A = this chain, B = another copy of it.
């Protein structure tokens, strides 16, 4: 954990939906459903990434440290660094994660959570991930 880290590292996430090591800390669970929003901090080790997935209510990412990528299915990847914001519309299939040699930390917000949980579509393969870096 370096000096810039704002939120303490959370629990190591299940490998069911991620490749390589990812730590997730919930910042707002919304257990009383008063805000219709969940907020969390996600830290990726180098090369770590989510599986392909989509959110029925959308998701917003705020990058706080490191370098990584966001890619929508069928589109070129967008390189991300500290200070970048990504608004991922409902039902858009995508992944996000670290660059191969750099850690990556973002705040994530799942918006309109009453619309339901994320849908998952399997890993971003090493081949798919390699194509991003080759650009």
Contact = CB atoms under 8 A, between A and B. Distances in A.
A34 interface: yes
How many copies of this chain are found per oligomer? 2
B28 A83 contact: no
B90 A6 contact: no
Interface residues of A, number: 26
29 contacts: A6-B62, A6-B82, A6-B83, A7-B83, A8-B83, A27-B62, A27-B85, A28-B60, A28-B85, A28-B87, A34-B87, A34-B90, A35-B58, A35-B60, A35-B87, A35-B89, A35-B112, A36-B112, A37-B37, A37-B60, A37-B111, A37-B112, A39-B60, A39-B62, A39-B85, A39-B109, A64-B64, A109-B109, A111-B111
